[in-house]
């Protein structure tokens, strides 16, 4: 199994006065090429979970195995090559004086030739809808949306097999959001990348992901193909969605999955 999370438990400040159990007995298997959406309230454990995928956090109990690599091992170089994580507001991590240097930063450690680095940088730029003309610019001269895309390009340039994105469109306007989601969809399709997208927006997840994991209070509350999650309004209500939100989602589902059985819309969402 490419991603195998078994009995994962994580406690912040384990044994200390501010001990906090953030994840309890998480079991998730993910296949190559899946597009997974992770949703859940603030504090439900989404960020803690994704930080286990490249070994930033290590399980307090249980294990996380990525393509045969146990994240508990010390040498995480190969793991970090395979799993790229785009954190929230990734543009805050841009620090070089040119876009080119920022995008190639991770590549420099990989022993690639100058030409290869150049090629990877350009192809990563293209994959987020930018071009060579901005290579020598300072990231700080760019618009908010462009900065975000440069930051994503820096992760994409590493050509990770698994791309994890934590609220990649937070703070962008609707057209900026649609653009970024469009590029993520293409990366998934063209490179068969496994994509794990954390979002608080059910609608975005419904549009993109084939499978949805709903987190609640540090546990996996639901893990199903997206269509099935949206056919269980009573379950959605339990995680705090209002009746109008559920009705809206049901309507949207009809446009996304036109073949779906009409009967599900007769379920009373109140």
Task: Please give the residue ranges that form the binding site for ligand ADP (CB under 6 A).
Answer: 12, 20, 22, 40, 42-48
Q: Which is nearer to ligand ADP, 44 or 82 (CB)?
A: 44
What are the residues whose beta carbons fall under 8 Å from the beta carbon of 47, sequence distance 6 or more? 166, 198
* 256 C-beta neighbours (distance < 10 Å), count: 15
- Pairs from 180-186 (Cβ < 8 Å, separation ≥ 24): 180/128, 180/145, 180/148, 180/149, 180/152, 181/207, 181/208, 183/127, 183/128, 183/129, 183/149, 183/152, 184/208, 186/127
- Least separation in angstroms between residue 133's CB and ligand ADP is 36
Tokens at 57, concatenated: 């956090």
Q: Which is nearer to ligand ADP, 43 or 144 (CB)?
A: 43
* 13 C-beta neighbours (distance < 10 Å), count: 9
- Least separation in angstroms between residue 96's CB and ligand ADP is 28
What is the rounded distance in angstroms from the CA atom of residue 228 to the CA atom of residue 103? 39
- Least separation in angstroms between residue 99's CB and ligand ADP is 29
Q: Which is nearer to ligand ADP, 54 or 146 (CB)?
A: 54
The Cβ-side half-sphere exposure at 144, using a 13 Å CA radius, reads 10
- Least separation in angstroms between residue 237's CB and ligand ADP is 19
- Least separation in angstroms between residue 89's CB and ligand ADP is 14
Helices 174-191 and 144-156: angle between axes, nearest 10 degrees: 10
- Least separation in angstroms between residue 48's CB and ligand ADP is 3
């Amino acid at each position: 199994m490419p991603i195998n999370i078994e009995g994962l438990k994580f406690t912040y400040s384990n044994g200390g006065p501010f001990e906090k159990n953030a994840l309890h007995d998480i079991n998730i298997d993910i296949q190559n090429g899946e597009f997974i959406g992770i949703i859940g309230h603030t504090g439900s454990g989404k960020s803690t979970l994704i930080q286990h995928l490249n070994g930033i956090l290590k399980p307090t109990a249980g294990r996380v195995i990525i393509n045969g690599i146990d994240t508990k091992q010390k040498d995480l170089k190969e793991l970090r090559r395979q799993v790229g994580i785009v954190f929230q507001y990734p543009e805050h991590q841009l620090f070089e004086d040119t876009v080119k240097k920022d995008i190639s930063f991770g590549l420099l450690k990989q022993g690639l030739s100058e030409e290869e680095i150049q090629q990877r940088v350009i192809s990563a730029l293209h994959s987020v809808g930018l071009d060579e003309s901005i290579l020598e610019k300072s990231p700080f001269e760019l618009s908010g949306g462009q900065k975000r895309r440069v930051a994503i390009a820096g992760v994409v340039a590493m050509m990770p097999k698994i791309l994890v994105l934590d609220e990649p469109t937070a703070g962008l306007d609707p057209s900026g959001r649609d653009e970024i989601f469009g590029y993520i969809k293409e990366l998934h399709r063209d490179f068969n990348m496994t994509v794990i997208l954390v979002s608080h927006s059910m609608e975005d997840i419904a549009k993109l992901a084939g499978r949805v994991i709903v987190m609640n209070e540090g546990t996996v509350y639901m893990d199903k193909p997206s269509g099935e999650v949206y056919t269980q309004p009573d379950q959605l209500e339990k995680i705090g969605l209002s009746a109008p939100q559920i009705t809206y989602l049901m309507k949207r589902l009809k446009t996304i999955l036109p073949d779906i059985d009409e009967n599900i819309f007769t379920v009373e969402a109140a």
